[in-house]
A and B are shown apart, each in its own frame.
Chain A
Amino acid sequence: MPEAKSPVKKTAKKDRLLSKDSEWTFELLEVYDRELARLAEKYRLDTYPNQIEVISSEQMLDAYSSVGMPLMYNHWSYGKTFLSNQQNYMQGRMGLAYEIVINSNPCIAYLMEENSMPMQALVIAHACYGHNSFFKGNYLFRQWTDASAIIDYLLFAKSYIANCEEKHGITAVEEVLDACHALMNQGVNRYVRTTPLSAEQEKARSQEREEYIQRNLNDLWRTIPIKESEKEKKTRRFPKDPEENLLYFIEKNAPLLETWQREIIRIVRKVAQYFYPQRQTQVMNEGWATFWHYHLMHDMYDEGLITEGFIMEFLHSHSSVVFQPDFDDPRYSGINPYTLGFNIFRDIRRICENPTDEDREWFPELAGSDWLDAVHFAMENFKDEGFILQYLSPKVMRDMHLFSIDDNEINAYLEVDAIHNDSGYRQLRENLAAQYNLGNREPNIQVYNVDVRGDRSLTLRHYMHKGRPLDEGSSMEIIKHIHRLWGFDVKLESVDEENVIQHTHKLAKEQ
């Protein structure tokens, strides 16, 4: 209604408004998306093409329960998640997330139909330009995931597993899947990734193979066996070096598995690998997306594209997203990754634009540099651990009132070993970074040995981190699962930093 008489600052501004009320329509979604895309480009946010899907709350619940993926193989645990979500949602104990976004090309983002226009705009900014550019830009995602292939792979996985169920029965498939799910966190490669071979390398390989076969053929002529010395027998282990990827090892080496079982292990392994970067970049990813929805929405307001009511509603949602309860608050459940990430990214910008003396001392290379370059560099080249270690500033520590607790079992008390003051900043930052190191958070368990010449028993080693033991009950459960896959005895040794065995988990012999 252009003839509205309400006092508006500038008529020019008023005319540019994209919408006045908070109802959304498909046309409006398009308009907002176009504007956000324009602004995102200004900030050099490089994204995969977006595929925005509007869904209902029931569909959101469905998406929730299968780890957010649009298609997933069937498993009872997803049904369990669904039931508990449904129950919580129906009883009002849980709100639904505003959005789910999938690291794929095109990048799929879900909007819920119940949301208002400001919420939809927030989600588009957050998911379609924030997360999306993170997926495309961050080195972990570039290195470990293949965004263009994931949907096709899941489609393959779903139908493969469905076929297996038809052929071998639901129970048999479920057994393998249960065991694999238990090992999912130990089913990823952490360090190396084979890049696709070029044609040249492929050629070199086949030559190598030929040579190898040739050698073996020659071997036939050599009829006198060399006797291995007893000592060598004892010390030689298989695998030669401990293997960190348990699922990979089992897939390749378990003696009794059938082909379809190996393929299922492979599927779970691939899925775990796909999610691995997300587990390592939670703070950064959410922080980055929050940082950009904050900026993009404010820019829209500054350009007069949205009303005051709109920006107020946005700010309300934004502040509940970055709400961080204190440690003694009943709502407290750890540090909110949205808050931490958002604060750090925002502080990077502040340090670049308005550095204080403290900043000049702590971040000499950042102070006064171009902030857009700085945040892009931070987003592209770190994971949570390094990101915190590199960029957590004294100001953020002060603002969040961070403090670090030292919990050592030999003491009867907990000790505050660092707080947000001059003597504590560095310690605090190291501690927080370590907290986001998956290597510390999750037990480090590797395949140590297989008794190849004996009873084929499998020995796993848990390399203890600062004397932390494994949880007794669940470890035994998992050993049962591994036993099911491996087919022979399995034992798990916990060794401390001096390689002394502290504890052994072993399955009691069944009578």
Chain B
Amino acid sequence: MSIIIDRRLNGKKKSTVNRQRFLRRYRGLVKEAVQNAVDQRSITDVESGSNITIPKKDLNEPVFHHGKGGHHGHVHPGNKEFNQGDRIARPPGGGGQGSGEGQASDSGEGADEFAFQINRDEFLEYLFDDLALPNLVRKELKDSTDYKLKRAGFTTAGSPDRLNVVRSLRAAHARRIALSGKDRKVIRTLKRELREMEVSPDEVDQQEIRRIREEINVLNKKLKRLPFIDDFDLRFNNMSKVPQPSSKAVMFCVMDVSGSMTREIKDMAKRFFLLLYLFLERNYEAVEVVFIRHHSEARECDENDFFYARETGGTVVSSALRLTDEIISERYSPNDWNIYIAQASDGDNWEADSSKCHDIILKKLLPVCQYYSYVEITDRHHQNLWHEYKSIEKEHPGHFAMQQIRSHADIYPTFRRLFEKKEASHAGS
């Protein structure tokens, strides 16, 4: 007779370990593929995983097999026109590569690449592998409404759903032992007496035996009357509310939108901001983004305007920095928020303004923000803004970083350089 078993409720993820082994083994290749994939994403598309394609030849499992050549035969079905002795032209390349037919090259392509899915978390893990957020601080919110229940031992009072059965029964057991100790001792003595009487060769007093038996009986009944469990025994899990330190971050995207910023440059800046956003999101529970665009004056705007609206005018960077400072003091108290500022520009600035920028960053922004990163997207000579910033970087190496992006391909490496794990600074903090 057969046994029929429903196994559908058993674990589905049996292959998880093997899958992880695979990813672990080909970490390098997967990472490379992820870095290529990141170029094809939009800033809002952070919710999905990704299709990963890695070259198949790197992951073959070799077994001994015959190569081309030698003498062998093969039987096929479906003969239509062949007769014994017919000669057929040998397909070039042994048939594997085909003769340039679409179908053959299709399968050829399939053999070169190995494609599979990774989920969002894995995607980001590979993307930000070995990167660290500088100066990450968990800021406790004073009027936080966020609590977490934490275990805090056991109490004798509580609601029934918190009843701890094991503890309660243990307490009951202890109570029963404690309360019955004296009686059990008496029973033991009586029993010993009784046994001695029974085995003694002398004449025994039957009445005495009966009396002892009676006494044992009474005592046993008394023991039985002890309650198995009492209110007094109940134990409850105790939970206490602990305020939850929640960490929040705000990211300021500052970008120059003056006429000199072409669509292409903006696009590169967008990629950079995307990476920063994803990265912050991984490290903080809540991330807010503030977009500030500026030409000769600065304005806060939404994402769409930030990247796509065009305006012309001069360039005054300090206006944006000043606005950033205002918004910070209005809405994002540094006590509650981790503040990150990312600025992208093509390096143009009104000549006399750069020193003002220097002052604002140094005096106002750096003291309150966690990290200030500046990327200059240009392949021309650096102008005075770069040189001013360079002096800031020298003074505050841990809090201020700048990099230059020349082309699309630079974006991710630049990002990595900005957020590389710095062993030395770790040791210092």
Chain A interface residues (CB < 8 Å from chain B): 26, 29-30, 33, 37, 49-56, 58-59, 61-63, 65-66, 74-80, 82-84, 86-87, 90, 106, 110, 113, 128, 170, 174, 178, 181-182, 184-186, 324-330, 332, 335, 400-410, 412-421, 423-424, 428, 431-432, 434-435, 440, 442-443, 445, 462, 464-475, 477-478, 481
Contacts and interface: CB of A to CB of B under 8 A. Distances in A.
A434 B72 CA distance: 10
A335 B65 contact: no
B103 interface: yes
B67 A402 contact: no
Interface residues of B, number: 58
B15 A49 contact: no
A431 B70 contact: no
B78 to A, nearest CB: 3
A432 to B, nearest CB: 4
A468 B72 CA distance: 8
22 contacts: A59-B10, A76-B22, A78-B15, A78-B18, A83-B116, A335-B75, A402-B76, A404-B73, A404-B74, A405-B75, A409-B69, A412-B90, A413-B87, A418-B84, A434-B73, A443-B64, A443-B66, A467-B70, A471-B67, A474-B62, A474-B65, A477-B60
Contact of B4 (A33, A182, A440): A33
Given A52-B2, A66-B14, A178-B61, 12 more contacts: A26-B6, A50-B2, A63-B14, A84-B116, A87-B116, A186-B64, A404-B76, A405-B76, A406-B73, A414-B89, A417-B73, A466-B71
A421 B86 CA distance: 14
Nearest to B88: A414
B19 interface: yes
A170 B74 CA distance: 43
B85 interface: yes
Contacts of A462: 64
Contacts, number: 258
B62 A414 contact: no
A402 B8 CA distance: 44
Nearest to B6: A54
B79 interface: yes
B20 interface: yes
B75 A435 contact: yes
A407 B19 contact: no
B188 interface: no
A409 B71 contact: yes
B1 interface: yes
A474 B3 contact: no
A82 B18 contact: yes
B75 A431 contact: yes
Given A106-B3, A403-B82, A442 B88 contact: no
A442 B103 CA distance: 28
B12 A407 contact: no
Contact of A325 (B8, B25, B78, B82): B78
Interface of B: 1-8, 10, 12-15, 17-25, 59-80, 82-90, 103, 114-117
A62 B15 contact: yes
Given A59-B14, A403-B79, A435-B75, A409 B21 contact: no
Contacts of A468: 66-67, 69-72
Given A26-B4, A467-B69, A74 B74 contact: no
A320 B271 CA distance: 50
Contacts of B3: 49-52, 106
Contact of B84 (A56, A423, A440, A481): A423
A82 B15 contact: yes
A465 B72 CA distance: 9
Contacts of B2: 30, 33, 37, 49-52, 128
Nearest to B104: A330
A54 B5 contact: yes
B98 to A, nearest CB: 11
A87 B117 contact: yes
B205 to A, nearest CB: 65
Nearest to B26: A76
Contacts of B5: 51-54
A416 B82 contact: yes
Contact of B85 (A80, A182, A415): A415
Contacts of B19: 79, 82-83
B92 to A, nearest CB: 11
